[in-house]
Structure 1
Amino acid sequence: MSSRALSFGVMAEAYEQFRPGYPVEVFHRVMAYAAQPVRTALEIGAGTGKATRLFAQQGVTVTATEPDRAMLAELRKHVPANVRTVQALFEDLRPGERYGLVYAAAALHWTKPEGRWSRMAALLEPGGVFASFGGPVQLGDPAVEEAVRVARSPFLASDEIPSPDGTPPEHDMQWPGTELQRSEWFADVQQSVVERRLTMSAREYVGYLSTVSAYLMLPTLEQEQVFGRIMQVLPATVEITADITVHVARRRREQ
């Protein structure tokens, strides 16, 4: 687990305040794929519980795992009583109880690739479902996006996380679907997109950027400088494209 992966705890309250939640359509996509009732779920890298709430509020009994103590403390303020919380890295989870669903919301890329899918399969019931969903929050206006790129360029060439397996963005199947298709443990890999358009104030957008790992890794003074430069080039409100790519796969019964 990289230091970048564990950089969010210092901004747990901002993460909760400024990161968009997940629409119920994501839940419906996963359940439609499962095609049977899902009663128990394990969440990998739950953060402050944005996706935890989505599933728990629909009646699923969720066990939310999160390695960062501050993030988990923030999560516990917001989730319903049917959520169990565990402070743990994905790699430290031990096979025992199996779940109908294991999912990760904008967190799977922080897990180690070695043994990822055999470990995931060990946490699932035979025929159980794995789901991963998330996507970048991007400025909708190309001119504003370019102004922000120029403003941040003395500090960061890019604030994006590249595809973990190098899959180019124009490829039909994106990561982690590409890895799942190669895995002996999973079958029937599907990918879909939930389109989402949001409006944020300039302050809210910079608040969101303050929770992005690329900025969190900068020294405090540079963070202040880059956020100040970005604020100067933003209009009062910004249109956001925040599509959510959903990947689902089924654990092979014969494994």
Structure 2
Amino acid sequence: MSRRALSFGTMAQAYERFRPGYPVELFDVVMAYAGQPVSTALEIGAGTGKATRVLARRGVPVLATDPDTAMLAELRKHVPPGVRTARAAFEELRPDERFGLVYAAAALHWTKPAGRWSRMAGLLEPGGVFTSFGRPVGLADPAVEEAVRAARAPFLEDDGVPSPDGTPPEHDMQWPGTELQRSEWFDGVQQTVIESRLTMSAGDFLGYLSTVSAYIVLPRPRQDEIFSRILRVLPETVEISADIIVHLARRRHET
């Protein structure tokens, strides 16, 4: 895995504090697509368990996996006691069971492209559901967004993660839906957006940025300079666009 992919453990507590969680509506969207109760679920790249707790608190048995021990330690503080955990990257998973649901929350882009979908299908029961979702956080006010970009630019041109297959942001179907549509292992591909707007203090927004990999991997003096510059252009509170983009697909019974 890349250095950025493995950087989050150093900020596990900040990740838990400043990253927005997921609403009950997400659970409802996934269960409506599944069309029946899910008896077993596996999370890839569980982080501190913000997605896992949404399912586990509604009775879904979950195996939460992550390659980082610090992230899993933080996760165990926040999820119901019945949640199982395993330290493993997606490519290392060799469970002795198949699952009715496999999901990844803001983590799938860190997995290796080669063999991604055949490996994913191997984790699912025939007819089982795969879902990937994330809530990219952006400043709702274009003027504030531009001021932050300009403050960051001398040290960091872009703090996002580009689409793994190059799909542009304006495309109707976003990644990984684009890859799922081409995969022989999955059908019934759907994309759903759960609209969300949040308000953060300037300090909490900087806290959020401190959990973004593009900043984590920078030398500490450079981080401090960027955050100082950004803080100077932020209003006291900021409105955040945090729509949740959900992709759903079903594992084919036969391929």
Structure 2 counterpart of 1:65, one-letter code: T
Aligned to 1:12: 12
Aligned to 1:144: 144
2:44, 2:69 → 1: CA distance? 14
Aligned to 1:239: 239
1:71, 1:22 → 2: CA distance? 17
2:41, 2:73 → 1: CA distance? 20
* Stretches of 4+ aligned residues off by more than 3 angstroms: none
Question: Once the 2 structures are TM-superposed, how far is the Cα of residue 95 of structure 1 from its aligned partner?
Answer: 4.7
Structure 2 counterpart of 1:97, one-letter code: E
Instruction: Calculate the aligned-residue CA RMSD, in Å.
Output: 0.7
Query: Is the contact made by 1:100 and 1:125 (CA closer than 8 Å) also made in structure 2?
Result: yes
Question: Once the 2 structures are TM-superposed, how far is the Cα of residue 82 of structure 1 from its aligned partner?
Answer: 1.8
2:212, 2:93 → 1: CA distance? 26
2:233, 2:162 → 1: CA distance? 25
Aligned to 1:37: 37
1:39, 1:130 → 2: CA distance? 14
> What SS does structure 1 have at the residue aligned with 2:51?
helix
2:33, 2:208 → 1: CA distance? 31
1:201, 1:170 → 2: CA distance? 29
1:49-84: CA deviation from partner (whole Å, max 9, x where unpaired):
000101101110000000011111100111101200
What's the TM-score, normalizing by structure 2?
Answer: 0.99
Question: Once the 2 structures are TM-superposed, how far is the Cα of residue 34 of structure 1 from its aligned partner?
Answer: 0.3
Mark the runs of 5 or more structure 2 residues left unpaired by the alignment: none
Structure 1 counterpart of 2:34, one-letter code: A
Aligned to 1:96: 96
Are 1:179 and 2:179 an aligned pair?
A: yes
1:155, 1:57 → 2: CA distance? 42
Within a 5 Å distance, the mapping from 1:148-159 to structure 2 comes to 148-159=148-159
Query: Is the contact made by 1:39 and 1:59 (CA closer than 8 Å) also made in structure 2?
Result: no
Aligned to 1:168: 168
Question: Once the 2 structures are TM-superposed, how far is the Cα of residue 96 of structure 1 from its aligned partner?
Answer: 2.2
2:95, 2:225 → 1: CA distance? 46
2:96, 2:85 → 1: CA distance? 16
Question: Once the 2 structures are TM-superposed, how far is the Cα of residue 169 of structure 1 from its aligned partner?
Answer: 1.1
Aligned to 2:2: 2
Aligned to 1:76: 76
1:93, 1:72 → 2: CA distance? 16
Aligned to 2:52: 52
Structure 2 counterpart of 1:2, one-letter code: S
1:29, 1:49 → 2: CA distance? 19
1:228, 1:57 → 2: CA distance? 39
Mark the runs of 5 or more structure 1 residues left unpaired by the alignment: none
1:3, 1:20 → 2: CA distance? 23
> What SS does structure 2 have at the residue aligned with 1:211?
coil
Question: Once the 2 structures are TM-superposed, how far is the Cα of residue 136 of structure 1 from its aligned partner?
Answer: 1.2
Question: Once the 2 structures are TM-superposed, how far is the Cα of residue 94 of structure 1 from its aligned partner?
Answer: 1.1
What's the TM-score, normalizing by structure 1?
Answer: 0.99
1:117, 1:27 → 2: CA distance? 23
2:10, 2:193 → 1: CA distance? 31
Question: Once the 2 structures are TM-superposed, how far is the Cα of residue 135 of structure 1 from its aligned partner?
Answer: 2.9
Structure 2 counterpart of 1:236, one-letter code: E
Aligned to 1:204: 204
2:136, 2:43 → 1: CA distance? 20
